[in-house]
Structure 1
Amino acid sequence: MTTNEHAEEAADLLQELGLKEYEAKCFVGLTRVPTGTAKKLSEITDVPRTRIYDAIRVLEAQGLVEIQHSSPQQFRAVPLEEATETLREQYESRVERLRGALESVDDVDSEAKSPVQEVWTLSGQTAIATRANKLVEDATDEVVLVVGDDSVLTEELVDRLNDTAADVAIGAVSTAAQTEIQDAVPDATTFTSGLEWLRGENDPDHDVAIGRLMLVDRSSFLVSSIMPDSHSEQAIFGTGVGNGLVVVARRLIAQGLLPSRDPGQGDA
């Protein structure tokens, strides 16, 4: 990527975090110079000079820019470490406020619904990773995970696997991957899954590969598929001891487990 492309990406990301277009462009522009006047900043960013001052006032109020009241005024961005920390705190604060607001919204239908036999779909790597992390965090008895794609074993998931009080068994599709997993989660029981088809390498079309198979407390099941070109991820999530998908998951995952670790043995 060129410098201009990086600058455009940074401005786009700042807008996703809540800044308006001119504010984002002004901040990115100031990170490229020690200090700048409204004229210089307008030249760097293509933001109309008349709009620079409004954008700078907003950025100053958010703690992202400092102003020297000289003639002409000089502006400079706060150090990047301070700026990113400020933006992180603002984003987290908004998320917490959103959570509080959503929790305070009254239910339209207050009738309790049974969670038995539920099957849901999820899309997007972030959403699926968040659900997987939550499943491990809430586990009380056992977590069995078969890793079909290395990308699903994120740092956050590894942290939760290491922190959980539940028994953890992790399957890999190769001996080399098993060794890496054992190093990352030393207290887990690791195994070679015997499910080489998870990677889709035997599929002549290479349409899809399984990202992860997860069974938690013998009652919750998550399986995801990853498209090789876009690397987009989709998943099916099921709950309920009698759920057909959960039963199938037990049988599949058990292919690589010792009988004593077979998550289906508890149903015998």
Structure 2
Amino acid sequence: MPDPEEAVTSLEELGLTEYEARCFVALTRLSKGTAKEVSQVADVPRSRVYDTIERLERKGLVSVQQTDPREYKGVPVETACQLLREDFDDRIDAAENALRQLETPESPEDEGVWAIGKREHVTERVVTFLEDAENTVQYLIPATEVVDDRILATLASADDRNVDLYLEVPTEADREDFAAAVPGATIAVAPDLERTNDVRGQWPAQLLMVDQRAILAAGLRESDLPDVHDEVAVWTYGRDHGFAVWIRELLDDRLADRDRKSG
């Protein structure tokens, strides 16, 4: 059986008040109705039906027939959903604009080291760093499975901007996959990145440095679910922070060592 209460709840979640949702659902169930009929079907006090219908009319959801007594008719469901969708999108746009005006830009001089949980948040930070890349990207990827289509697309975009890309991956098969996605990158096979015995159920996932400044180090850890791994990371913008200095020296040493071997 159809559930009017489910429809009412859904409309409330889209921004209608409870009385607006109840009156519109009632009119959807009726071909048309007077205030008395709407009140009875909607279980809304008759004295509140009039102002509620007036608001619904302003929203374009109800038509009013000037009879005696007045009769009301809801617009087709498809039309109502389109109007509600447009209104919802407008609300999101308004919220985004207001928040962007209040947002404090991230400072490149921030010396803090910040922690991130959840893979999608780690990916978002990697993408942000790569989008801001101007000169160089050094990227060690022990766990290539964490590099999703968004990261690959952002690497390709950096490649198009003539950013120098230096990638290290565990296997030749990984190198071929990344070379196909980012043809301008210098990609080396580094067997030492291959996963070995886990330490406390944790292992490295990715290590990224952009423009010798922005750094992210991420790892995978076993979760309570079978074959499911969580990704966590730390990141910083700080050039002089001890963590940043250590990572920069590590990556620069690897790059220099690779150049010596290739030379």
State if a TM-score over 0.5 links the two structures: yes
| TM-score normalised by length of structure 2 | 0.60
Give runs of aligned pairs for residues 52-131 of structure 1, distance below 5 A.
67=62, 73-75=73-75, 76-78=77-79, 87-88=88-89, 90-103=91-104, 115=109, 117-131=111-125
Q: Which residue of 2 aligns with 1:163?
A: 157
What is the CA distance between 1:256 and its match in structure 2?
7.7
The verdict on how the C-alpha distance between 1:203 and 1:95 changes in structure 2, with shifts beyond 3 A counting, is same
What is the CA distance between 1:68 and its match in structure 2?
6.0
The answer to whether the 8 Å contact 1:139/1:216 transfers is: yes
The verdict on how the C-alpha distance between 1:58 and 1:214 changes in structure 2, with shifts beyond 3 A counting, is farther
The answer to whether the 8 Å contact 2:208/2:215 transfers is: yes
Distance 2:135 2:260 in 1: 12
Q: Which residue of 1 aligns with 2:198?
A: 203
The verdict on how the C-alpha distance between 1:102 and 1:203 changes in structure 2, with shifts beyond 3 A counting, is closer
Q: Which residue of 2 aligns with 1:245?
A: 243
Q: Which residue of 2 aligns with 1:188?
A: 185
State which of 139, 143, 148 in structure 2 corresponds to 1:153: 148
Of all paired residues, the percent bearing the same amino acid is 18
The verdict on how the C-alpha distance between 1:209 and 1:72 changes in structure 2, with shifts beyond 3 A counting, is farther
Tell me the matched-pair count: 225
Q: Which residue of 2 aligns with 1:221?
A: 215
What's the C-alpha RMSD, in Å, of the aligned pairs?
4.9
The verdict on how the C-alpha distance between 1:66 and 1:254 changes in structure 2, with shifts beyond 3 A counting, is farther
Structure 1 residues 36-85: Cα deviation after superposition (integer angstroms, max 9, x where no partner):
4379xxxxxxxx6549x8999989877xx855668673451349899767
Q: Report whether the alignment pairs 1:172 with 2:169.
A: yes
Q: Which runs of 5+ in 2 are unaligned?
A: 32-41, 66-70
State which of 229, 232, 235 in structure 1 corresponds to 2:233: 235
Q: Which residue of 1 aligns with 2:128?
A: 134
The verdict on how the C-alpha distance between 1:127 and 1:22 changes in structure 2, with shifts beyond 3 A counting, is farther
State the one-letter code of the partner of 1:233.
E
The verdict on how the C-alpha distance between 1:137 and 1:80 changes in structure 2, with shifts beyond 3 A counting, is farther
The verdict on how the C-alpha distance between 1:203 and 1:214 changes in structure 2, with shifts beyond 3 A counting, is same
What is the CA distance between 1:223 and its match in structure 2?
1.0
The answer to whether the 8 Å contact 2:175/2:188 transfers is: yes
Q: Which runs of 5+ in 1 are unaligned?
A: 40-47, 105-112, 263-268
| TM-score normalised by length of structure 1 | 0.59
